[in-house]
Amino acid sequence: MSDDFNMSMRKFLKQVGVTSQQAIEDAMRGADTAGKTYKVRAVLTIEELDLHHEVTGEIKGQE
């Protein structure tokens, strides 16, 4: 793959990671999350390429 492709993909993935972490932290801030585990699902789509990719996991609240 080309350098331009790699750079644009890394830039996008960095933006996804940073903004997603901020959104999760904002949602959990001030909430009673102690001892709770939250199911998480992230969905990535590229409609023009018929791509649908899901990642699931869990995030544990702060003690």
pLDDT digit string, tens, across residues 1-48: 799 999 999 999 999 999 999 999 999 998 899 889 999 999 999 999
Phi-psi region of 36 (alpha: psi -120 to 50; beta: other; left: phi over 0): beta
Neighbours of 33 (CB within 10 A): 16
User: What is the reported pTM?
Assistant: 0.82
Q: Are 43 and 53 in contact (CB under 8 A)?
A: yes
Domain ranges (residues) in the chain: 3-60
Question: The tokens of 3 are what?
Answer: 């350098």
Q: What is the DSSP letter of 34?
A: T
Question: Is pLDDT of 63 > 90?
Answer: no
